[in-house]
Each structure stands twice: as structure tokens, then as C-alpha cells.
Structure 1
Amino acid sequence: MDTRPEPFEPPAPVPRTHIPSRIEIIRTVLRNPLELWGEPSYTLPWIETKFINQRTLIVNDPGLIRYILVENASNYEMSNVRRLILRPILRDGLLTAEGDVWKRSRKAMAPVFTPRHAKGFAGQMLRVSEHFRERYERAASEPFVSNVAVDMTELTFEILAETLFSGEIAVEKEGFAANVEELLHRMGRVDPMDLLVAPPWVPRLTRIGGRKVLDRFRGVVSATMAERRRRMADEPDKVPNDFLTLLLQLERPEGLSTSEIEDNILTFIGAGHETTARALAWTLYCIANTSAYRETMEKEIDSALASGAEPVEWLERMPHVLAAFEEALRLYPPAPSINRAAIEEDAWTSPEGEVVPIRKGISVLIMPWTLHRHALYWQKPRAFMPERFLPENRDKINRFQYLPFGAGPRVCIGATFALQEAVIALAVLMHRFRFDLTEATHPWPVQRLTTQPKGGLPMKVSVRAA
């Protein structure tokens, strides 16, 4: 008889068991889209629905996902709703650009994010993480409470600033996390006009208050670009050969336009670190509820660090740490939905011979949120079970049932960067500290641009016993 305790099930909306009214749908989407999805979204391979005049195909089947994102990706563009939400913020950044603009940007940035190049950032990631750890050291004469959602946003921003911009982003670190939070809260949410697919010139009342913070971010980008251009002109031998310099070297008619460069810098400053930050915070929360696995992680971290392994080796030397992070990415995917629209009529045939018609113009919704919790593809899908992602079990996971970084031509360019960053950050912090729950630790996942813990994630930070 199996006497092991049931694994921890972190908080998440319970699937709906009734069909909501139109008003209920609108209210739920405005409050938290993660609360909208019903039982069929977690149990069926695909569903076709209709809201107002827009038909939507909700896709969970890994074979159909592969077909849409890879095999026939050219027939699927960003959906109108996604475009209406993201383009006001990021314009022609890598996440939102399409066609030739996207191809130019992707080609220009690809060399910076190859696995080999990403590994070259390991030393900088380690130094920044150690410097961040010193803040905890100064406060840790006794246990203290800190909002790890904010802490991880600040840490990942500092890693991004140091690795891709050589520490030369024209912004004060103090208060940066609050600015990101305000930007995503005000600008990264669905507006009723988006659901009605109203044209961009129709005012979005829910976003009016976000314009000022967006302007502040664009001011940071403009100042950062101006200062680097000055250095490139006046001190060419002293200019760091980083991501920012690379982009500005491409500032010419046949490369990237000035506005495209600005949009991509904003994308990385405003959102490039945010996905990793959210996943790190959720990881610390989940392992605080899974003490046996946390102890396994601590032993693995202590052993790797005692061996003197270089940080570039940590990703391979710490499989339990990586597995915990990947399981947090499964349960709380930073990007909880992938939105496409069919350009032309299409169809897909399942291995069993069932034909799925895909109408021209239909909205295609691939949701890592429901896919990662789907009863057909995961054992105990709502439970935190990092062992799923250990090397000996990884082959059991279909490539297209786990999409924290997307798939196909538009797969996240920084996936290797993010995984390495996460393992290094977790190892540095957990080698010295433990993160435990407090009476106020009651997070609830809310979808904005990323999956955020409503109310933050207050946790008790204490020095580990020697």
C-alpha cells in the first residue's frame, strides 16, 4: 500500500461546471481570465466555442498544437485580441512584430541568445545573484518577512541589466519593480473593447491610467539609447559589446529602424525579465510547501557548490533545482495563453482519423494554463511534482504538451538564458537562506501579461542552519 502523503496542490481556480452568461464572461475576463475556463478545457483535446461574433478553437491536443505552431505556422497570425492588448505597449518589439519586421528582429537578436552565447552570461548571473543575496545578509540577523514576488522582479531585472545592457540602463533600481507592476496591471489586461474587437482608436478606459507609466518606460529607453550612442561615437574602444550595442549597430535602413530598436529594448526591459521573475517566486512558494523535496534541492546545491563547479555547469549539476523550476513553470506558466488566428481555411487529421476543421479567421487559443493542467496528459495535473522533470522521466513528456516558452518559429528566444538564470539564482539564495510561509502567504494566480500572485508573495526569510 502506498503510504506517501498526497503531493501539494498549490492554489488555482477550480474548473467551471456551468456555461457562463455573456455578462459573466466579460466580468471574469476583466477580473482574472484564469477563472473563466470550464471542465471541458481541462479534459477535452479541442473545443470550438463562440463569443459575440467571434468563433474560437481552444486547442489542447499536442499533435494539433504542433500542426498550428510548427507544421503550418505560416497560416496562423497573432489574433486580434492579443494584438489589441500588446501592441499599445510593445509596438514592433519581438513579441508583437509580424512579417518582415519580426524576421529582421529575430535574425538580428538570434546570435545573442544561442545556447553557447547564453552560457557565457553565467558568471555575470552569479555575481549579480551574490550581490542581491548580500541584501538579505544585511537583514538576516533574525528571520524577516519579504515579498519575494517583488524581490525576484528586482533580481531578474538586475541580471538582465548587467548581462544584456552592461548595467547601463538609465533607470533607478529603487522602485523599478513597482513600475513594472503598475505597467502590467494597467496596460496588460483585457479591456471590454478588446473583447468586442473594437479598432485601436476606440479608447480603452481600463488603460488610461497606464499611459504615464508607459511614457516613463519609453523615456528610459530613449535615454539609454542616447547615452550608448554617445559612447559609441566618443569612446568606441570602451563600448561594451553587448545586446544594446548590437542593436544600435543595426540602426540603418536595411537593418532595424530606430523605432524598432526602441520597441525591442522596451520589450526586454519591461517584459524580458518578468516571466522568469514570476516563475522564481512561484518556485520558492511551492517548495516551501514541499519540505522533503526542498531538502533534496538544498543537498544538491550544497554538493555542487562545495565541488567548486563553475556556474556554467550548474544547469547540468542541479537537476532537482531545474526540475522544481520547470514544474513551477508548468503550474504557473508566465505566458498563460498563445493566441493565433487562421489566415486561410485549414484542417487537421488526428492519428485516429478524426478531422478538425479550422475556419478562415477563427481565433485559435492554445493555453499553457489549461494544457499544463490537462487530465489527458498529466498524472495528478494540479499537484506540484517536480520529479516529472528529472532526466529519467523527461522523455515521458510530449514536446507539445509543455509550452512555457511556446514552440515553433516564435519560440521564446531567451529560453536557455532563463533556465540558466533561474538555476543560478535559486542556488545562490537557497544555499544560504530558507523561504517559509507566513500567516499572510495566500497567493492567488491572476493573469495579466504574466501569471502573477495577487497581493504578492510574503515569505519568511531565515538563514539556514549550519
Structure 2
Amino acid sequence: MDTKPAPFVPPAPKPRTVPPSTLEMMRIVYRNPLELWGEPSYNEPWISVTGVGGPLVVANDPALIRHVLVDNAKNYKMATVRQKILRPILRDGLLTAEGDVWKRSRKAMAPVFTPRHIFGFAAPMLKRTNEFVDRYVDGTVTDVAHDMTMLTYEILAETLFSNEIAGEPGSFASQIDRLFETMGRVDPLDLLRAPDWLPRLTRIRGRKSLAYFRNIVSNTVLMREERLERDPNGVSQDFLTLLLKAEGPDGLTRAEVEDNIITFIGAGHETTARALGWTLYCLAEAPWEREPVEAEVDAVLAREPDPTKWLDAMPLTRAAFEEALRLYPPAPSINREPIEPETFNGLYIPPRAAVLVMPWVVHRHRKLWDRPDAFLPERFHPGNREKMDRFQYLPFGAGPRVCIGASFAMQEAIIALAILLSRYRFDTVAETKPWPVQKLTTQPEGGLPMRVTKR
């Protein structure tokens, strides 16, 4: 007789049954876009409507997603609304650049994210995580969401910047929260495609935090340049050095170098941090899933000292992380706009249409997943993972603009989870009542207060 408990269903907005009014829709989009989507979005292969900002296509069908992101990617540019939100923060960083600027940046960064380089990051990832976990005090309650932000920041600083980022790490987490709380929101004027000269309240409120990050970047670049001048052979060939070496007439401009640094400092660590926090939360609420993960971690750490082997050696740990990525995709929307109108399998995609590939919706679609709202890591166990369509699971995007740091993030996450779960158990407390909110990333409103107990 099967006595396994019913699967844990983590918090998420219920699909709307009645479309919102225009005013209500703008309020929802500003407050939390995840609460906007209705039942048709979770059941239909696509939605095509004309909204306040013009034509809108929500793409859920994996074949349509593949067409937009891969097969006919050359006909799609970054959506206007998305650029209005992100460009003021990231400017010509890899996430927002297009055309030749994007190609130059991608080429400059590619050497850092080869398998050889990523394996080389495993030891410092392990070192930083062990040092971080040493700070925990047995039995205390801590905000795990904040902790994971700090942990991934420290890993990023160690691996990509050789621990040479200007500024004080303690203020980093609060400043990035402030930046995403303000400039990371959809401004109603952007939704209406209002002219850029009209002031946006979100950007005005976020100026101080943005200036903080820009100052960190410029000081970090100056520090590294001074070191390169003093001892060019004694400086690590890390992400920062490679970007500076790519600067020049045929490479990156100084502004593009700084834009890519702020992209990786501001957004590169944030996505992994959010996914780690949600994973620890889901495992805490599903202890029957946590127990085999802990057993796997203990067994692998006892026999395999090489952290580069852990990703392949821990399929249950990886499955729990991937299931958390499905339920709470760190980047919940991928936005495109057609350069030329076209028709796909009877769907007309008009000029200037906002084409939304929403991992949040696709990952919970009723026609693509069994019990889509439940936390079921077994979906990603060996033998099951291979049955999925490549374009129904998009935590790192797809196509030419797939996340360049995906392998880095997966290795980082499994090393971090292995150390965290081998040394401590994370349990929810009465105050643990997170609510997923979209502010560039899928964040837990109210944080993730959890009790940390030595194992």
C-alpha cells in the first residue's frame, strides 16, 4: 500500500476566471504580473488579443516557442516593453544588447563559460560555500532568501572577479532589492508604450540604487586596470580581465564593458539565488522529498571529493533544484517582437506584437504537465527528464540568446545545495509565508524565514 503523502503544492496565484478591466490590469502588472494570467493562458497553445499596448501573443505551444526563439529567431527582436524596463538598468549588457553589440559581447564572454573554465570554478565555489555555512548558528531563524543572495554574490565575486569587486557586500543585498523593487517593475507608461520623455515613477525611485551599482562597477574596473598596469602577468584571467582585454576599436567599448559587468553583478547571481531559496523552501515543506536528497548528498560527499563530479553524481538533488526552477522560474518571461509580420500554423503574428514566452505559464500549463502546480522532483529523475519537449521547460531560455551562464549556474547550485544540506536542515516556521512576485526575477515576498538546525 502506497503511503507516500500527497505532493506539496507551493503558493502561487490562482488563474483568473474573469479578465481584468484596463485599470485593474495596469495595477496588477505594476504590483505583480504573475497574478494577471487567466485560465486560457494555462490551457491553450497560444493566446492572441489586442490589449492596451497593442497586439499581444502569449506563446505556450513548444513548437511555436521553438519557432520564435530558434527556427525564425532572426525575425524577432527584444520586445519594446521589456527593453524599456531593462535598458535603463543594464544598457548594452548581454541581456539587453542587440545586433553587433550583442555579438561582440557574447564573443568576449564565451571563453569564460567553456566547460574547462566552469570546472575550474568548482573549487572556489566549494570554498566560498563552506565559509558561508560556517557562519550559521545552530537553531537560529534566518531569511534564507537574503542568505542565498549573499552566498551567490560571494561566489560570483570569487569566481568571475577574483574577489575584487569594489564596495561593501553587506549593503549589496539591500540595494539590489531596492533596485528590483523600483526599476525592476513594469511601469504603466511602458505598458502603454508612452514616449520616453514622459518621466517614469519607477525609474525616479530607483536612481539612487542604480547609481550605487554604477559606482561599484566603475571602481571595480579602475582597481583591475591599476593591477594590470603594475603586474600584467600576475592578474587572474577571469571574466573581468577578459572583458577589459576585449576593449578596443574592434571589440567592446568602455561603456559596454561596464554594462556587462553590471549585468553579471546585478542579474547574474540573482537568478541562482532565487532558485536556491525556493528549492530549500520546497524541500522543507516536502520532507519525504528532502530525506532521499539528504541521503544522496551524504553518500556522494563521503566518496567523491571532486566537486566537478557532483552535478552528475547527484540526480535527486539536481531534480529537486530543476523542479523548483520549473515552479519558480527566476526569469518568468521572455519577450520578443516580430520585425516582419508572419503566420505560424494559422496564428497571425502582426507587426509590433508583443510575443510573450512565459516560463511561469508554460511550466504550469495543463496540457504539458501532470499535476503542474505540485512539487514533484521525480519529473526530472533519470528516465523522466528525457521525455520532456525541449521547449516546455525554459529556465535558461533557448536559442541564440540562451543564458550563457546556465552551466555555471547548475554547477554552482548543486555545490551549494550539497554543502548546505549536508551540514544543516532548513525548516519552515510560522512566519514562513512566501508569495511569488515578479520583479525581474520571481521573488518571495515576505522573504523565506527558516530555522537552521545542524544535522
**Which TM-score applies when normalising by structure 2?**
0.99
User: Is it true that 1:386 corresponds to 2:382 in the alignment?
Assistant: no
Q: Which amino acid aligns with 1:452?
A: Q
Q: Higher mean Cα deviation, 2-11 or 400-409?
A: 2-11
Alpha-carbon distance in 1 for matches of 2:53, 2:121: 48
- After superposition, the C-alpha distances for 1:192-248 in whole angstroms (9 at most, x for unaligned) are 111111122221012312101100100000000001011111111211111100000
Deviation at 1:159, TM superposition (A): 0.3
Task: Tell me the distance in 2 between the aligned counterparts of 1:53 and 1:434.
Answer: 47
Q: What per-residue deviation string (whole Å, max 9, x for no partner) do you get for residues 235-286 of structure 1?
A: 1121111110000011111100000000000001111100000000000000
1:212 corresponds to: 208
Counterparts of 1:31 and 1:236, CA distance in 2: 49
| Residue of structure 2 equivalent to 1:458 | 449
The 5 A counterparts of 1:88-127 are 88-127=88-127
1:362 aligned partner: 353
What do the CA deviations read for 1:329-385 (whole angstroms, capped 9, x no partner)? 000000000000011021222xxxxx2221122110110000000000000000000
CA distance in 2: counterparts of 1:177 and 1:148, whole angstroms: 12
By how many angstroms is 1:111 displaced? 1.3
Of all paired residues, the percent bearing the same amino acid is: 62
- For 1:447, which of 438, 443, 446 is the aligned residue? 438
- Structure 1 unaligned regions, length at least 5: 350-354
Which of the numbers 146, 153, 163 marks the counterpart of 1:150?
146
Q: Distance in 1 between matches of 2:116 and 2:51?
A: 45
The whole-number CA distance in structure 1 between the counterparts of 2:301 and 2:219 is: 40
Does the C-alpha gap of structure 1 residues 53 and 128 become closer, same or farther in structure 2, counting only changes over 3 Å? closer
Counterpart-to-counterpart distance in 2, 1:331 and 1:287: 13
Helix, strand or coil for the counterpart of 2:169?
coil
Structure 2 portions without partners, runs of 5+: none
TM-fit CA distance, 1:414: 0.3
Give the Cα–Cα distance (whole angstroms) in 2 for the partners of residues 198 and 150 of structure 1. 35
The aligned counterpart of 1:404 is 395
Corresponding residue of 2:368:
377
SS of structure 2 residue aligned to 1:357: strand
Quote the residue 2:342 is aligned against: 346
RMSD over aligned CA atoms reads: 1.0
Q: 2 CA distance for matches of 1:58 and 1:114?
A: 34
Per-residue CA deviations over 1:296-331 (Å, capped at 9, x if unaligned) read: 011101001110330000001111111100000000
- Measured against aligned partners, the alpha-carbon deviations of 1:384-420 in whole angstroms (never above 9, x if no partner) come to 0001111111111110000000000000000000000
Amino acid of the structure 2 residue aligned with 1:254: D
Question: In the alignment, which residue of structure 2 is the partner of 1:335?
Answer: 331
User: How far apart, CA to CA, are the structure 2 residues paired with 1:285 and 1:124?
Assistant: 26
Match of 2:278 in 1: 282
The 1-side partners of 2:82 and 2:283 are apart by: 33
Once the two structures are TM-superposed, the CA of residue 2 in structure 1 deviates from its matched residue by: 5.5
> Shift of the alpha carbon at 1:5?
2.4
Question: In 2, distance between residues paired with 1:46 and 1:237?
Answer: 55
Rounded to whole Å, the distance in 1 between the matches of 2:7 and 2:204 is: 43
Aligned to 1:420: 411
Deviations 1:88-133 (A, max 9, x none): 0000000000010001101111111123321221111000000101
Partner of 1:84: 84
Q: What SS does the corresponding residue of 1:171 show, helix, strand or coil?
A: coil
**Residue 23 in structure 1 maps to residue 23 in structure 2:** yes
1:54 aligns with 2:54: yes
TM-score when normalising by structure 1 = 0.96
- Please give the secondary structure, in 1, of the residue aligned with 2:291: helix
Name the amino acid aligned to 1:25: M
How many pairs are equivalent? 455
